[in-house]
Structure 1
């Protein structure tokens, strides 16, 4: 073999992107290429003639690799053997590799090509659906190697062990050497391809590529829909001059398909998440309306009380007006007839006395004040009811937690006043950026639960205070308490200790979700027979003026 041929094979051996090695009959590494050094992290000087292939093979695969290599050396044919194994670099990092091994004709040596397939193994693990395709691809690769005819020399054997395209071109872009992968894709034998312009064959495949130094690009073969990653490198001859180029290409169709599948899966997840958010919003509103339904009788009672005395006061005022009308008509008659006599004056005085005019004039302001107060109370209940019932806007607003608590207490007061003494210990707290109606729902759930936990008479204590960066709210009751085995499940959806028909099991779950949505935290402490305390922590706005 002439020097140019040797240099050609050396360049191919040194520049291929697969790890290559020549093994002695005892599996000593006689020669390795730079890609082998890179893959395993050991310099050639410390590898060639010093280490064996099994030094880089994981313990579990060493017997099998030794058996394959010995079978390769003992075999009579030159057909390569391909198998997978686990190998490790100098740092102990284990890699999954594909090894193609073949005996060198007329020598007790073999050449191996090692391709790192760790990435493919990771993809197989993450996407089980692609496993069948990967096995099929592996099977095709094995069949490809089995069909390779006898190769005359070591360089051609090395090129044909590589599953990617490998094409050597002269300075005019004509094919000088090409491996079997390229020949099969083009569908022609080497004698037809040798000396022909590569651009002509790529044009037939509808692949546009201009050979201009080193470059990398991805192209789609329009005929069969396969994606290829093409790389070109300048070929440097023994004089150090550019004398052609090396083209490599690998099939990345499966990778593209996996990326598309991941994209579609991400889109499906985004759609499902959006639907889940919409469903959650509906469930929260339905739970709120269900709670309002449970309190409807109490709210009606709270409205009926002031309406009762307003109606009574209006009835009394009606009687007062009738009496005042009698007096006014009598006075008007006397004045109109201009008969102000002692008898008429006495008649008017007797009428005023019998009508209790003085009492009426004293009582009317009190009746009006009481009625206005009752109407104001009704208006406040109705306003709180409307505020609580409507759906929050998407934007959060600044709200006073103490005001939210008072509004909620006004809604549930009839549920509590006959069973518990309500103690309010409000501190001075900063405004909280929140959805006020959702926080009102949280407070209502906690207050109603506190009232239901008290069987006869007890105390519900509401505290608010501030710590650095947080506003805290606690709702404590002296009720029956919660058994320890139920505390961990308290915020699970649909978990309830109430009788059937008296609870959905969503109240505390929704409460927890609302607090988390506000960046806060809710905790519970309870002792059976002594009571329960829920504590809420909410972040405060550091600079409220920035939200203006």
Structure 2
């Protein structure tokens, strides 16, 4: 390329490409990023000296976009895509290897490719920042919602405690004075339902952290073993394989024994309920620097993506009517938060759910 006119033509193509790429990135829809990346690849294809034979590959951890004629054996220029200084992909622009060599590329074309790769890396950085902001906002909204629900349920629980105690007390007195068996049977049903309602109120108070905590250092391993022994009949009924792992023989945690037992009981009971016949449940307790991490894994159907944000909300349940109050996981969340811990969930592989609890070490 010798003439001034030809050189000027190539510079115009390069500047046009940069302008178009910048416009694409400014107007990019982060939820449809592949469309923007495809447009960037097309811009690069037009910007090269022999554009009719130019092919482009853009690859990232989540994307792989090529022009129609791209082949892996082409003679190519390459530039890495870096996101927060970490290589996460690259862009290649190439010619057919039998017809062209590296000397056929212009020095300015490598500069152009580097600039486009930098711009694409910035696009991925902005997407990550947007996604993090969205996640933080979602978590804050959920925390606010749970806080409001906690205040409401605490008030309801306090209001219900007194009438329920009265119902049970007067029912006991009335039962002692009756002789009719049918009437006594009906009265016992009233008492059973009142006791059931009282347990719901207790769970509400757990959720609202209204039950006083008796915090002390306790050994975690025997507590977990006791819960598993209580649930052994349910485990045997479904022929579930139980895998238990403790990183240390003596793991100490500062907690309320009753509330921590409730946490393990609810999570393992849920794992049993959703596990298939002959499935496996894993309970893993790991002591790490600064934290005690608990993982409870099952091989059930897993949590539907549309329910991921709801499972810790009170009264939400996927169990059939009459099989769950929807308070189990909300109680667990309340207790864990009250112990300054965190609880998260993620899919198990190949199927199922993993609940992870992190408690601070005493």
Which of the five TM-score ranges fits, normalised by the shorter chain?
0.3 to 0.5
TM-score of the pair, normalised by structure 2: 0.42
Larger Rg: 1
Q: Relative contact order, CA 8 A, sep 6+: which one is greater?
A: 2
